[in-house]
Structure 1
């Protein structure tokens, strides 16, 4: 298959899938969070991030979020300034907080109980929607879809994507 045709097929699939799961909606899963914000919550829920050892004034203005923003921005391929604004918003709304690392390392940025609850709600809504998409698939079709997704992941990862 010529690469132009492959690019066309990938774009066609992307349009189909993003419409199917609502990724182009203003917010994700009728939540107050955009897709990028939901990804940030997920990453922070997966593992707390080391923050800086800033002084009291810097902590008051959330300036110690810079190391976290820089690391997450690279992982999520987002602009650090945008990520920093969202992290500040998360802190102001009680979703994240800086905590002392229990192992005496630098303070870490982690989800609060409120942040964990928001993430759990997002994950439950996502799981419900994906289950709704696949509920009519028989066992063979589900296995075929799983194999196809694994194959796409493997092929694109091997191509350096």
Structure 2
């Protein structure tokens, strides 16, 4: 049976093929341009970007540097653009559209407008509004998805730590659990004591140099590790930090032939529970309610059995 994600993917590609056909039809009957779509996009960027350089275009359009360079050389040869050395950096050149290039750009813009008019002329007002609303919905959803992907790329995780990192980890955990869950200073003492454990490794996540989260692995036995000190800085929630931290730890354990990972948490930690389940952790023990760190808590043990082949 096809799952929802696969079905969505098929529909997405189906729509993509349909829209590509629409653009192809319009290009054939209206646009009639001597330039490829990529060349047109590059000309658009040069015309509309202040202090435009080849590197700007390469990064914004995610194109190969050599490919961009060849198109710019073609534009120079055809007197569409010209280069000007940067005053601050003689190695770079600013790109400008010539008068001839502006005439070409205006003509391309005019034809692009004709494309839209041709497409919309058979639709009534309600249909046009529905189309615009649908396009806005697609743009909003996909923009949000792209933003999340970019944020995940910006996460840096390192697996070494210093004494300053330990101090910061303790401080961050104390601040979070004291401010959010109102745990008392006995928890701070507990944090200091835990760093006497048999630490195998600690991972620290950073975004733009700022502390974004941490996680640690402590050896329980030769083949069993305990996940500890898992925390995501509230400023960076819902950016994939927690997922990447747990994934780093789990992958390390698999690579080093651990048979099991376990963790202790409390039932109040609602945010982390879906993440533990996502990686396959299951509750194997639940203790009775007791007074701990100034609160009444129920401790839980979660285990993840690893398959090492």
Instruction: Name the TM-score, length of structure 2 as normaliser.
Output: 0.42
Look up the SS of the partner of 2:58 in the other structure: helix
Aligned to 2:145: 159
Structure holding more helix per residue: 1
Distance 1:3 1:20, change over 3 A: same
Aligned to 1:8: 10
Aligned to 2:117: 131
Moved over 4 A (4+): 23-26, 104-107
Deviation at 1:24, TM superposition (A): 10
Deviation at 1:10, TM superposition (A): 1.2
Q: Deviations over 1:47-77 (max 9, x none)?
A: 2435xxxxxxxxxxxxxxxxx2222111111
Structure holding more strand per residue: 2
Q: In 2, Cα distance between the equivalents of 1:149 and 1:73?
A: 27
The structure 1 residue matched to 2:77, chosen from 83, 92, 95, is: 92
Look up the SS of the partner of 1:31 in the other structure: coil
Look up the SS of the partner of 1:136 in the other structure: coil
Aligned to 1:45: 47
- Once the two structures are superposed, the pairs formed by residues 42-121 of structure 1 within 5 Å of their partners are 42-50=44-52, 68-99=53-84, 108-121=94-107
Q: Would you say the 8 A contact 2:46–2:95 is kept in 1?
A: yes
Q: Deviations over 1:13-44 (max 9, x none)?
A: 11111111118979x92111000000001111
Q: Would you say the 8 A contact 1:48–1:109 is kept in 2?
A: no
Segments of 5+ residues of structure 1 without an aligned counterpart are: 51-67
Look up the SS of the partner of 2:146 in the other structure: coil
Look up the SS of the partner of 1:94 in the other structure: coil
Q: Deviations over 1:94-132 (max 9, x none)?
A: 00012478xx76662110111111111111111101211
The alignment of Structure 1 onto Structure 2 pairs a total of residues equal to 141
Q: In 1, Cα distance between the equivalents of 2:97 and 2:51?
A: 10
Segments of 5+ residues of structure 2 without an aligned counterpart are: 148-309
Aligned to 1:148: 134
Q: Would you say the 8 A contact 1:90–1:96 is kept in 2?
A: yes
